[in-house]
Amino acid sequence: MTATYDVVAIGNAIVDVIARADDAFIAENNLAKGSMQLLFTTEEAEALYDRMGPGIETSGGSAANTLAGLAALGLTCGFIGQVADDQLGRVFTHDMTAQGVAFTTAPRPGDPPTARCLIVVTPDGQRTMNTFLGASQFLPAAALDGQLIADAAILYLEGYLWDPEEPRAAMRQAIATARGAGRRVAFTLSDVFCIERHRADFLRLIADGEIDILFANENELLSLEQADGFEAAIASLSARVPLLVVTRGEHGAVAIKGGERAEVAAEPVDQVVDTTGAGDLFAAGFLAGQAQGRTLRDSLTMGAICAAEVIAHVGPRPQADIKALVAARLD
Amino acid sequence: MTATYDVVAIGNAIVDVIARADDAFIAENNLAKGSMQLLFTTEEAEALYDRMGPGIETSGGSAANTLAGLAALGLTCGFIGQVADDQLGRVFTHDMTAQGVAFTTAPRPGDPPTARCLIVVTPDGQRTMNTFLGASQFLPAAALDGQLIADAAILYLEGYLWDPEEPRAAMRQAIATARGAGRRVAFTLSDVFCIERHRADFLRLIADGEIDILFANENELLSLEQADGFEAAIASLSARVPLLVVTRGEHGAVAIKGGERAEVAAEPVDQVVDTTGAGDLFAAGFLAGQAQGRTLRDSLTMGAICAAEVIAHVGPRPQADIKALVAARLD
């Protein structure tokens, strides 16, 4: 059956709080620079927030950022994720629907509040993320809109959401629904620490053929494969997924589909202001290219264009017209 | 007595929601481009928010933005303003205190929620503001910290807050406290529509000698004086206030103190991204200069440097190190 949605994603429904700090702040607070760590209690989240400088708030969440990019590129999208019935939940919901993304997961009443990610951006533009999952960790399988998933050409899942139990179960059910409807499943490995927590699950999903399109950055690839060499890891993993996409930061990106391999360089950026959302927007550009029937190489270029836009400003979602940026280059 | 604070301000405690839109959106929604209009009901605020695109949230409020600038320039500051006991109120409070600004006004329980300003930024960088005053309009005179006001060299007041009754009464009481302690009172006229609503009050404050330092932009000056000519209005108003500061956007700024007059050009900016906070940060730079005993001309230059920084990015508070920018130029 023809899909009525291009991409439906399941992900954390998070509001980002972004503040600048120097490397000493990272060290003093034992943060994992460049990675994502979980904050498990409200107290822990509030204590770190108290120590952070003034911030800006903006809707975030890895898969949700990717959808924001996909919608900006003209694709038809839906989102499934859990907010609380509070002000930050309404901000998140507004920002999703204001872009035309279908988002109907009902807010969850009571505590905990909507998830937030406390992001510290150092002078080198790197982001260090500290996530309080709040309501997001309670996305139940019952909240899935099975019809929406079955109607989408691609189901996109974020590895970060594999941490909490209920969303993990929901994602397993969603995979079954998508595959039952003959749809493709895309998955992002999200983060090295996330892989360390869930390597066995991720490897099993791949071995079982549940993942059609896999996104990883170089460190995630090496971590998943527990390999030292990039080419060896690429060779091993690409043999087990139909389409593998690996981003390498300033060194560009690689995609391998069956025997075909394509590579692109990173797009030039005047100044890297904040790398938050770089991987998410790369995935958006690449998936949009694939949905539009473009070559592997052009899809990678679209990913690189979108990633370059998002790292040139504070915040994880595009501010410039990325559709126009792509058209100026490729059309 | 020596002041322990350089500046204490009373102002709206507002979280800004900033979204981009084209001029057609301004017209379709009957917004007053470049000005501030009040949204009187939650429904009105929500209806406009629903129509706006995805946004970013950041602490705002005119006098609060000025304090953010003053604190970044190294001054000792305090803030008095009313938030609600909700998530946005905690964001506002965090951002104020994270900069070292003393802010002890207790949150107000229950409805209405913390104030928000829905700001539409058009491609020319101009901001059009739509303010739902929420809890901010209920700042009672009883919430004033009289000791804090008496301990501050300058009491800074924003004209916007003259609209609601309770804060207006609070500001009148604060003026009496400050003057009783031998302190100076600074006032910003805020907005032409605001002057149209309160011209008689503002003229009376000036006539009664309650205002020592008056900030206005060119349009506000002409509106207050109901004059056509800039020089005639300057001559008339500067005769009635000890220190008058008039900003003229891209045409620079003028200050007149007694018989002395100084002028500066605007600082060059690569691209005007968002003019939100331009006047607020100009006031911060100028007041900091005055507090540091600088000349009128150098104080104006500090205002121009701070305004140029804030219009080069989205959001009404400085992101670069404005203290270093000033030092590089003047020290």
Amino acid, res. A17: V
Q: Do the chains contact at B58 and A53, CB–CB below 8 Å?
A: no
What tokens does B13 get? 């405690």
Burial A199-217 (b: 16+ CB within 10 A, else e): eeebbebbeeebbbbbbbb
Q: Is B205 on the interface with A (CB under 8 A)?
A: no
From the list B50, B54, B314, the residue facing A99 with the nearest CB is B54
Distance from the Cα of A182 to chain B's closest Cα (Å) equals 33
Name residues whose C-beta falls within 8 Å of residue B176's C-beta, 6 or more positions apart in sequence. none
Which residues of chain B are within 8 Å of residue A19 when distances are taken between CB atoms?
Answer: 98
User: Which pLDDT does position B331 carry in this prediction?
Assistant: 85
The sign of the CA dihedral B42, B44, B46, B48 is: negative
Task: Judge contact between B25 and B282, C-beta under 8 A.
Answer: no
* Helix A296-311 vs helix A322-330: crossing angle, to nearest 10: 140
User: Which pLDDT does position B2 carry in this prediction?
Assistant: 87
Distance from the Cα of B99 to chain A's closest Cα (Å) equals 7
Q: Do the chains contact at A317 and B99, CB–CB below 8 Å?
A: no
Q: Is A25 on the interface with B (CB under 8 A)?
A: no
- Using CA coordinates, name the residue in chain A closest to B93: A54
B162-204: pLDDT as tens digits: 999 999 999 999 999 999 999 999 999 999 999 999 999 999 9
At A58, is the secondary structure helix, strand, or coil?
Answer: strand
| Rounded percentage of chain B residues whose pLDDT exceeds 70 | 100
Q: Do the chains contact at A319 and B20, CB–CB below 8 Å?
A: yes
Which residues of chain A are within 8 Å of residue B120 when distances are taken between CB atoms?
Answer: none
Q: Which residues 59-78 of B have a C-beta within 8 angstroms of A?
A: 59, 68
B329 vs B179: CA distance, rounded Å = 35
Which helix (H) or strand (E) covers residue A170, if one does? helix A165-180
What tokens does B104 get? 């002890």
Task: Judge contact between B66 and B13, C-beta under 8 A.
Answer: no
A324 vs A182: CA distance, rounded Å = 32
Residue in this structure with the two tokens 């605001």, named with its chain if needed: B194
From the list B68, B87, B315, the residue facing A56 with the nearest CB is B315
Which residues of chain B are within 8 Å of residue A56 when distances are taken between CB atoms?
Answer: 56-58, 315
Task: Judge contact between B118 and B127, C-beta under 8 A.
Answer: no
B139 vs B165: CA distance, rounded Å = 9
| Rounded percentage of chain B residues whose pLDDT exceeds 90 | 98
User: Which pLDDT does position A158 carry in this prediction?
Assistant: 97
- Architecture of domain B5-330 in CATH? 3-Layer(aba) Sandwich (3.40)
Q: Do the chains contact at A54 and B113, CB–CB below 8 Å?
A: no
Give the A:B interface size as CB pairs under 8 Å. Answer: 70
Whole-Å CA distances, B88 to A88, B26, B45: 8, 26, 15
Q: What is the pLDDT along chain A (331 residues), one digit of tens a residue?
A: 789 999 999 999 999 999 999 999 999 999 999 999 999 999 999 999 999 999 999 999 999 999 999 999 999 999 999 999 999 999 999 999 999 999 999 999 999 999 999 999 999 999 999 999 999 999 999 999 999 999 999 999 999 999 999 999 999 999 999 999 999 999 999 999 999 999 999 999 999 999 999 999 999 999 999 998 999 999 999 999 999 999 999 999 999 999 899 999 999 999 999 999 999 999 999 999 999 999 999 999 999 999 999 999 999 999 999 999 999 999 8
Q: Which residues 28-57 of B have a C-beta within 8 angstroms of A?
A: 49-50, 52-57
Residue in this structure with the two tokens 């679209």, named with its chain if needed: A302
User: Which pLDDT does position B7 carry in this prediction?
Assistant: 98
B97 vs A168: CA distance, rounded Å = 38
Q: What is the CA radius of gyration of chain B?
A: 18
From the list A20, A87, A95, the residue facing B54 with the nearest CB is A95
pLDDT band at B259 (very low <50, low <70, confident <90, very high): confident
Which residues of chain A are within 8 Å of residue B50 when distances are taken between CB atoms?
Answer: 94
User: Which pLDDT does position A331 carry in this prediction?
Assistant: 85
At B51, is the secondary structure helix, strand, or coil?
Answer: helix
Residue in this structure with the two tokens 């507004």, named with its chain if needed: A94
Whole-Å CA distances, A148 to A13, A105, A232: 18, 11, 38
- Using CA coordinates, name the residue in chain B closest to A321: B20
The gap from C-alpha B316 to its chain's centroid, in whole angstroms, comes to 10
Q: Do the chains contact at B98 and A53, CB–CB below 8 Å?
A: yes
Helices (H) and strands (E) in chain B, counts: 12, 14
Amino acid, res. A132: F
Q: Give me the interface pTM, i.e. the ipTM.
A: 0.92
Which residues of chain A are within 8 Å of residue B14 when distances are taken between CB atoms?
Answer: none
Which residues of chain B are within 8 Å of residue A50 when distances are taken between CB atoms?
Answer: 94
Task: Judge contact between A129 and A36, C-beta under 8 A.
Answer: yes
Beta strands in chain A (DSSP E): 5-10, 14-20, 36-39, 56-59, 77-80, 102-103, 115-121, 127-132, 152-158, 184-188, 213-217, 243-247, 253-257, 260-264
- Using CA coordinates, name the residue in chain A closest to B72: A54
From the list B54, B87, B317, the residue facing A54 with the nearest CB is B317
Q: Is B259 on the interface with A (CB under 8 A)?
A: no
Residue in this structure with the two tokens 């008039």, named with its chain if needed: B246
Among B238, B305, B298, CA closest to B278: B305
User: Which pLDDT does position A259 carry in this prediction?
Assistant: 87
A212 vs A233: CA distance, rounded Å = 18
Q: Do the chains contact at B319 and A52, CB–CB below 8 Å?
A: no
- Provide DSSP, B214-259: EEEEHHHHHHHHT-S-HHHHHHHHHTTSSEEEEE-GGG-EEEEETT
The domain spans of chain A are: 5-330
What tokens does A23 get? 């490397």
At B17, is the secondary structure helix, strand, or coil?
Answer: strand
Amino acid, res. A323: K
Q: Which residues 292-321 of A have a C-beta within 8 angstroms of B?
A: 313-315, 317, 319
Whole-Å CA distances, A174 to A113, A186, B178, B284: 25, 12, 64, 54
User: Which pLDDT does position A1 carry in this prediction?
Assistant: 72
- The answer, yes or no, to whether residue B1 has pLDDT greater than 80, is no
Whole-Å CA distances, A207 to A177, A212, A219, A229, B274: 18, 11, 20, 21, 50
β-strand A36-39 against A127-132: which pairing, if any? parallel
A79 vs A167: CA distance, rounded Å = 13
Pick among A95, A103, A119, A271 to test the B interface (most B CBs inside 10 A) = A95
From the list B20, B52, B57, the residue facing A57 with the nearest CB is B57
Q: Do the chains contact at A99 and B50, CB–CB below 8 Å?
A: no
What tokens does A330 get? 């490729």
φ, ψ of residue A136 in degrees (nearest 5): -60, -35
Helices (H) and strands (E) in chain A, counts: 12, 14
Distance from the Cα of A275 to chain B's closest Cα (Å) equals 16
A324 vs B149: CA distance, rounded Å = 53
Pick among B91, B273, B313, B319 to test the A interface (most A CBs inside 10 A) = B91
